[in-house]
Structure 1
């Protein structure tokens, strides 16, 4: 939904050109967000841990920052490249810039005292989070009696 609604003076144009005049679509779809890339993320919960995979090809390990603040996991990366080619009478420079930031609220079962592993291989960042030992061995299921 757009923040500003326009007063339509010619409603017949709305019917004839709905996609052009629809400001909601204009600002929420590819026209503005075309360069805003967000990587695909898989989250897998196992009995003893969580595994998070971030598909982010084209980055290197030094481009990433993974932090946990107040039980919020933030994964961000920034990649800047400058390519310069010089030939006889001209010079050409090409800039490449790519970044993203994703945040997730972690469940209370994460053991923050244990080492949290992160590894970047073949374009995929893998983060490993251990569960609390107390919760690993217990089944947390409560059966509620229906009266």
Structure 2
């Protein structure tokens, strides 16, 4: 039986204390795993609104929290089966003489694209913007909505016996 390597520096496999395997992997592969797992369209230090996407029986509903964004700075496009919502939040003017104790708000442009399933009614899309929340409703085509089929086998079998 082979001997296992001795633990040195308080970590397994002889790695020095404080060594982070994820940090090393990111260094070797040349990318930041944390940024890859973030929301689509993020930029470091940029503005990325939160979205809620849901499907109802007759529509797809998209809601985005976009406080501080002007309606004129929003753009919504639907091409083929791809919905793109873009916009920007302008940075407020800062005076040189002002002293900031915290400056944590994000500004900049954003763009999010969502791929929709087939069967949406692109001619009847509705969008409204109220209190910093954007709502986009994309109805489904009526032929794509599920149809309930009534089972009538018991009545037919009774009539067939008579």
Q: TM-score, normalised by structure 1?
A: 0.64
Q: Where does residue 70 of structure 2 map in the other structure?
A: 60
The residue aligned with 1:16 is 17
Q: 1:15 to 1:69 in 2, by over 3 A?
A: farther
2:141 aligns with 132
Question: Would you say how many aligned residue pairs link Structure 1 and Structure 2?
Answer: 121
- For 1:107 and 1:139, how far apart are their aligned partners in 2? 21
The separation in 1 between residues aligned to 2:82 and 2:71, in whole angstroms, is 21
Two-structure CA RMSD over aligned residues (Å): 3.3
Equivalent position SS for 1:81: coil
Measure the CA separation in 1 of the matches of 2:89 and 2:64.
15
Flag structure 2 segments of 5+ consecutive residues without an equivalent: 1-12, 36-42, 100-105, 150-162
- Deviations 1:66-107, CA, capped at 9 Å, x for gaps: 111221101111122351547xxx699xxx732211111111
Equivalence for 2:88: 78
Q: Which runs of 5+ in 1 are unaligned?
A: 1-10, 141-147
Alpha-carbon distance change, 27 to 44 in structure 1, aligned in 2, over 3 angstroms: closer
Shift in alpha-carbon separation, 1:105–1:79, aligned structure 2, 3 A:
same
Alignment of 1:41-60 (within 5 A): 41-60=51-70
Q: Which has the higher strand share?
A: 1
- TM-score w.r.t. length of structure 2: 0.59
